Chains A and B, each alone.
Chain A
Amino acid sequence: MFFIPGPVIAALTFPGVIIHEAGHLFFCRLFKLQVFDVCFFRFGNPAGYVVHQEIHDFRAQFFVSMGPFFANTLLCAIFCTTAFLPVWELKVFDPLAYFFYWLGLSIGMHAFPSTVDLSHLWAQAPGLARKGNVLAIVSLPVAALLVVLNYGRVIWADLGYGLAVGVFAPIAIFRALALIGV
């Protein structure tokens, strides 16, 4: 496993950082939370952040923490799907396709919520899950998996996730479309 400094990775995949933070901001605005500060990108750790008021509502907490994960994953799947065929399957050299694949992978690589985001969720979810809160029940295994994957960033779990979404999502989409005859 080779080491590349975080700021270098962040610079190479900056669209993902911006989209991730924009996702946090979007859900903060959606739930009318007070936002104290936003940094969409910087050469530091973390590469971006959104500082917002303390959240007491679990639904808001869930979407502010996990929203960027779902948004980045979805955008990664969309961008990679447009470029997947020429890049992977058809082996056609098309610069625009490679640009979109890079964009998709960059976004997918920054899908994971930060440990801070997850810790807020993790603090509230177990108690609410015991009370039968469906969102809390659903978020527990997802959050647990993401905590593990977050630690796996040192072995490129974030890149692995981006690639997995960027490869398997298009394959699944195209096979399904072919099977239903679209």
Chain B
Amino acid sequence: MSQAICSRCGQSFAIKSLFDLNGVTYCEACAQTASKEAREQGHPASYIPLINKSICARCNAYIGSSPDNAQIGTLRFCAACAPLVKDWDYPQWLKLSLAAVLLLLVASLAHGRKYFQAGREMYIGEHLVKQGRYASALLHLQETLRIAPASDKAALLAAKAALLSGDVASASKALQDHNGGRFENAEKPEFKEVSGLWNRATGALEKAEQAEKLEEEDGKEIEAARLMHEAAVTYPEMPGLAFAAESYDEGVAFLKHDYDAFLAIAEKQWKQQNLPQTAAAVASALACKYAITADIIYRQRSEEMFKTARQLAQGNADALKGLDEFEARNIYRLESRTIISKQEYDRRFRSIKVSK
């Protein structure tokens, strides 16, 4: 059984040394010749060891010449392996797992919509910060913080945008809402940058607060104006400080009896911002001018400006309260043509009322 005959040369050979070409058995030398001839005639030319025909190429089981065997390409397989090799299907558990993962992915995408929105707002905000459009950036970053207040990046970017647009309150909120102002890494350049900005802004606000207190004291107008100017220079991003410093210059001009300067500054501020306070300041300066010139035009204009201030203050309780206080002094100035400070007026007239 271990010998077979080459169909071409008729000699007997060991089976393991014979080959199969298109179902015909050849010895090695004849197989090469037959293969060459088959190629020239356009027939399949590849031949395989005869022994391979009787062993399954996958499971190595002896398959002999059973009719159930299958030849796929140049290899032969047993009846069990042949369909598997021909079309190795995906196992059921793999199909189910992939379907489950895909379902989870869809669920995750739906679930993550708010994160995508928050992330999108953050990246837009970051981009705007890089462009120096801080106020616009802050709106986007606040939207991110609404969903993710613990995000270091969003909180620091929002604080930066707020501080560089002069909005210290928003910066404070962004930082405080982030774990009470605690951050993972205080050595990060982003944190250091915001920390530096924060210190500069709060330093300026402290000076402004001192200036406000001094301004209420008689004769401290010059020092108050100096402090407010320092605050404005320290934190130029907050335009309110520069505006306040300028208004404090009105106090200095008043103290120096330079009523032309007082009027010029007040009118400039009125042009910049139509507020009850700026209108009242113009009314005050015009009253001073009337007091020293007796020119009735100044008086009329002062009274008109005061009316304007009242109109602007409608619905603003604080502004109305301030105007109520100022009205009595301005009438006194216009009626008596005497220029005295608020503190002096209070001392002369209001403290008496209180003591009575």
Q: Which residues of A contact B (CB under 8 A)?
A: 15, 18, 22, 25, 28-29, 34-38, 40, 53, 78-79, 82-83, 85-86, 89-92, 94, 96-97, 100, 103, 174-175, 177-179, 182
Contact = CB atoms under 8 A, between A and B. Distances in A.
A85 B87 CA distance: 42
Contact of B105 (A82, A89, A91): A82
B73 A34 contact: yes
A37 B58 contact: yes
Contacts of B126: 178
Nearest to B148: A90
A53 B75 CA distance: 10
B105 A53 contact: no
Nearest to A100: B108
A177 B94 CA distance: 34
B119 interface: yes
B169 interface: no
B57 interface: yes
Contacts of B73: 34, 53
Interface string B287-306: 00000000000000000000
Contacts of A96: 107-108, 111
B72 A34 contact: yes
B48 to A, nearest CB: 13
17 contacts: A25-B90, A29-B87, A37-B58, A85-B118, A89-B122, A89-B154, A90-B122, A90-B151, A90-B154, A91-B148, A92-B148, A96-B107, A100-B108, A174-B119, A175-B123, A178-B126, A182-B120
B94 A85 contact: no
B150 interface: yes
A22 B99 CA distance: 14
B124 interface: yes
A34 B75 CA distance: 10
Given A36-B85, A85-B118, A178 B108 contact: no
Interface in B83-113: 84-88, 90-91, 94, 97-98, 101, 104-105, 107-109, 111-112
A175 B84 CA distance: 47
Given A78-B105, A82-B105, A85-B115, A178 B124 contact: yes
The 3 closest A-B pairs by CB, nearest first: A178-B123, A90-B148, A35-B88
B235 to A, nearest CB: 30
A34 B119 contact: no
A34 B126 CA distance: 53
Nearest to B124: A178
B278 interface: no
B213 interface: no
A22 B72 CA distance: 23
B57 A90 contact: no
Interface of B: 57-58, 72-73, 75, 84-88, 90-91, 94, 97-98, 101, 104-105, 107-109, 111-112, 115-116, 118-120, 122-124, 126-127, 144, 147-148, 150-154
A34 B123 contact: no
A18 B101 CA distance: 13
A36 B58 contact: yes
Contacts of A182: 120
A83 B116 CA distance: 10
A93 B122 CA distance: 18
A86 B88 CA distance: 40
A85 B116 contact: yes
A91 B109 CA distance: 18
A34 B85 contact: yes
Contact of A89 (B57, B109, B153): B153
B151 A91 contact: yes
B120 A97 contact: no
B78 to A, nearest CB: 12
Nearest to A26: B90
Given A89-B122, A90-B150, 20 more contacts: A28-B88, A29-B87, A36-B85, A78-B105, A82-B108, A82-B112, A89-B148, A89-B153, A90-B118, A90-B122, A90-B144, A90-B148, A90-B154, A92-B151, A96-B108, A97-B108, A100-B105, A174-B123, A178-B126, A179-B123
Contact of B147 (A83, A90, A100, A179): A90
Contact of B119 (A18, A25, A85): A85
A122 to B, nearest CB: 24
Contact of B94 (A18, A83, A94, A97): A18
A34 B86 contact: yes
A35 B127 contact: no
Name which of A15, A22, A90 has the most chain B CB atoms within 10 A of its CB.
Answer: A90
Contact of A22 (B94, B109, B112): B94
Nearest to B115: A85
A103 B152 CA distance: 25
Contacts of A174: 119-120, 123
